[in-house]
Amino acid sequence: MISTGEEVLHGDIVDTNAAWLSRLFFQHGFPLSRRTTVGDQLSDLASEIEHCSLTADIVVVNGGLGPTTDDLTAQAAAIAADSGLEQSDHWVAQMQAKYQAMGREMPAANLKQAMLPEGAVLLDNPVGTACGFAMKLNRAWLYFTPGVPSEFKQMVTDEILPRLKQQFSEVAALDCHRFYTFGLSESGIGQTLAAIKLPEGYQLGYRSSLPFIEVKLFTPRHARQAREVQQQLVACLGEHVVSVDREMVAHVGQQLQSAGLDVMVVEHCSGGWLTNWLSGDPLCRQALRSGQTRMVDTGEQDRTLAAMLAYATEERAQSGASITLISGAWGESGFQVGLVTPTGCWGQVVLTRREYSNQAQRNIVATVILDMLRRYLAGQAVIGQYEFLSCAEQLHLPAEALCGD
């Protein structure tokens, strides 16, 4: 894959298209062997296109098909192929129709987007004005795509991937099973899973995204042993697996829906992170009765876990929510988190084993709280064990102990 543009090369924007394509193609049996990024220099881009056409079977070139002067991909492709450019009257008509539908006249600059290398095959773009195109050069088929993510993804899905499957019908596609873990290090997970002998054609991969470690099991498509191996991995990692094949927040949303429970959130040291996180998932958003970011006023002299849980219990009673999630004070002794449910209250003071940025700290606090909720809904011990955190203090009380009943 060749990504183009100074904004990508210099880090002004993150190349999400490359990550998306790599993941999609790998799962369909077309693993990328190389990714490169080239700026808006005509000679550099033409050279890279020619080089890749000599070393790969398939090349996807992303970006540089717009109407402005720095959009040079079509011209670079023509130079690499030692050909000229020709206007696609069909695409001119398509662009004019798009502008007419918007009640606007097409700018003359857009004619540049219909200039394609001679002999190129047009790839439709129903979303925008930049058509894609395909051409054979040396040993490779090259596919040229717009850089706008929505346009790029639709073109890959509708135009490029079907062509590759038809051309290379014997490739072995893969399934990817994902396990999201919390509380273990990448090295710890690797050591834990080292004893498992994977069948031929199976692979493990890891992705660290604070505070989670994602374990990926790649298996042949529809493999019969996949479920058995998946169960082995989950059994080895135990309660540190917070969700399978979906992110933790989506899993908790399913748990809440199945249990018919709703929640309210009161945040101090997590600073609204948990409320925002829950709001991003449809089922969690449906279960979220209220989210508050405030100083938990238990008095300067009474910042105990019992006081925090009592405060959360009062808030739960006033809101009518089934469950209250709370983050309390953060001090030298660690951060306070708590869970108040119809069957009991749990609180803990958690210490981090290293320094984190403020954003990372809030993320960790929110994740510990959500993990407490996940464990409660799964019938597990509410307070877990984490390699990079330690529990300095914990408290478990029956629900009526803090509500005056």
Q: Kindly tell me if the per-residue pLDDT of 332 is higher than 90.
A: no
Nearest Cα residue to 340 out of 255, 388, 275, 401: 401
5 pLDDT exceeds 90? yes
How high is the pLDDT of residue 403? 54
pLDDT digits (tens, 9 = 90+) for 147-164: 999 999 999 999 999 999
Segment 216-229 mean pLDDT: 91
- Look at residue 189 in the predicted model and tell me its pLDDT: 92
pLDDT band at 270 (very low <50, low <70, confident <90, very high): very high
Residue 300, pLDDT score = 47
For the cut 80, the answer to whether the pLDDT of residue 32 exceeds it is yes
Q: Which CATH number fits domain 248-402: 3.40.570.10, 3.90.950.20, 3.30.70.120, 3.30.565.10?
A: 3.90.950.20
**H-state helical runs in 320-355:** none
174 contacts: CB under 8 Å, gap ≥ 6: 26, 27, 28, 29, 218, 219, 220, 221
CATH number of 2-167: 3.40.980.10
Q: Distance between CA 404 and CA 319 in Å, rounded? A: 17
> Any idea where the domains of the chain sit in the sequence?
2-167, 174-244, 248-402
- pLDDT tens by residue, 229-253: 999 999 999 999 999 999 999 999 9
Q: Do 2-167 and 248-402 come out as alike in CATH topology?
A: no
* Contact (Cβ atoms closer than 8 angstroms) between residue 160 and residue 30: no
Quick one: average pLDDT of 375-396?
Answer: 95
Element (H, E) at 217: strand 212-220
**pTM across the whole model:** 0.76
- Number of helices (H), then strands (E), belonging to the chain: the values are 14, 18
DSSP 113: G
pLDDT digits 0-9 by tens, 55-98: 999 999 999 999 999 999 999 999 999 999 999 999 999 999 99
Q: What is the pLDDT of residue 301?
A: 45
The pLDDT of residue 405 is above 50: no
Instruction: Compute the distance between CA of residue 373 and CA of residue 349 in angstroms, rounded to an integer.
Output: 16
Please tell me the CATH code under which domain 174-244 is placed.
3.30.70.2860
More confident residue, 222 or 56: 56
Per-residue pLDDT, 338: 97
Q: What is the pLDDT of residues 43-63, one digit of tens each?
A: 999 999 999 999 999 999 999
Which amino acid appears at position 253 of this protein? G
CA angle 111, 114, 115 (to 5 degrees): 100
Number of Cα atoms under 13 Å in the Cβ half of residue 7 = 12
Q: What is the pLDDT of residue 174?
A: 84
The stretch 168-183 carries a mean pLDDT of 88
Q: What is the mean pLDDT of residues 308-315?
A: 92
